Structure 1
Amino acid sequence: MKQTMGTKKKNICRTVVASAMAITLCSTVFAGANNVAMAMALDKEESISTTYNVSTTIVDKAEDYVKADYKILENKVMRSINSGALPVDQAAEIGAQYLWDMFKVDLNGKTIYMSHFVDPEVAKAYWKGDIIETGSEISDAPPVYSFVIEAISGARVSASKEWEKKETTIPYNLEKLREKYKNCNEYLDLAKQFSEKHSGVKATSAEFEDISASLDESSIEYGKPFSESGNYMAHEIFVRIIVTDEQGQKTEVEISTDSKTLQFINVIDPNRENNENYLG
Structure 2
Amino acid sequence: MKANRLKRKGFKKTILAAAVVIGGSTLLFQGLIQAVTAAEFKKTDTVPTSYANYTASSSKAAQKSLPAGYKKANYTVGEIDLESYRSQKPTSKDMTKEAAAEIGAQALWEIFDLNLEGRVIEMGYNEANENLPRSRWYADVHINDKLSYFFEVDSVTGELFGIGRSRTLDKQVSLAFDPALHKKPQEYVELARKLAEKYNVVHSPVKSVKYNNQGYMDNDPDITMYVTGENGELATMTFSRYDKALLTIGYSTPTKHALESSEKDMKRLQEKVKELEKSDSPANGNETPFMRVIEMD
Normalised TM-score (structure 1): 0.65
Partner of 1:172: 176
In structure 2, distance between residues paired with 1:214 and 1:129? 18
Greater length-normalized contact order (CA 8 Å, ≥ 6 residues apart): 1
Match of 2:104 among 88, 92, 95: 95
* More strand as a share of residues: 1
1:250 corresponds to 2:234: yes
Q: Which amino acid aligns with 1:192?
A: R
Q: Which amino acid aligns with 2:168?
A: E
When the two structures are aligned, how many residues end up with a matched partner? 216
Identity %: 21
Q: Which amino acid aligns with 1:112?
A: I
1:70 corresponds to 2:75: yes
Give the CA RMSD over aligned residues: 3.5
Distance 1:110 1:130, change over 3 A: same
In structure 2, distance between residues paired with 1:167 and 1:243? 30
Partner of 2:119: 110
1:150 corresponds to 2:159: no
Partner of 2:163: 159
Superposed CA offset, 1:160-219 (max 9, x none) = 1103333232373443331242xx1x322221233341354321211111122347xxxx
Partner of 2:279: none
CA contact (8 A) 2:138 2:150 kept: yes
Superposed CA offset, 1:211-242 (max 9, x none) = 22347xxxxxxxxxxxxxxxxxxx43322111
Partner of 1:187: 188
SS at match of 2:135: strand
In structure 2, distance between residues paired with 1:211 and 1:199? 22
CA contact (8 A) 1:115 1:127 kept: yes
Map residues 129-144 of structure 1 onto 2, 5 A cutoff. 129-134=139-144, 136=145, 143-144=147-148
In structure 2, distance between residues paired with 1:128 and 1:236? 23
In structure 1, distance between residues paired with 2:122 and 2:66? 21
Distance 1:239 1:58, change over 3 A: farther
Partner of 1:44: none
Distance 1:268 1:63, change over 3 A: closer
Match of 1:120 among 102, 119, 129: 129
Distance 1:252 1:173, change over 3 A: closer
In structure 2, distance between residues paired with 1:236 and 1:29? 26
Contiguous gaps of at least 5 residues in structure 1: 8-16, 22-26, 34-54, 216-234
Map residues 20-31 of structure 1 onto 2, 5 A cutoff. none
Q: Which amino acid aligns with 1:252?
A: T
Superposed CA offset, 1:6-26 (max 9, x none) = 69xxxxxxxxx96898xxxxx
SS at match of 1:263: strand
SS at match of 2:72: coil
Q: How far off its partner does 1:125 sit? A: 0.5
Distance 1:159 1:170, change over 3 A: same
CA contact (8 A) 1:59 1:199 kept: no
Distance 1:60 1:261, change over 3 A: farther
Q: How far off its partner does 1:84 sit? A: 1.3
**Which structure: larger Rg?**
2
CA contact (8 A) 2:177 2:215 kept: no
CA contact (8 A) 1:79 1:116 kept: yes
Q: Which amino acid aligns with 1:106?
A: N
Distance 1:212 1:18, change over 3 A: farther
In structure 1, distance between residues paired with 2:28 and 2:204? 37
Partner of 2:8: none
In structure 2, distance between residues paired with 1:28 and 1:65? 40
CA contact (8 A) 2:75 2:120 kept: yes
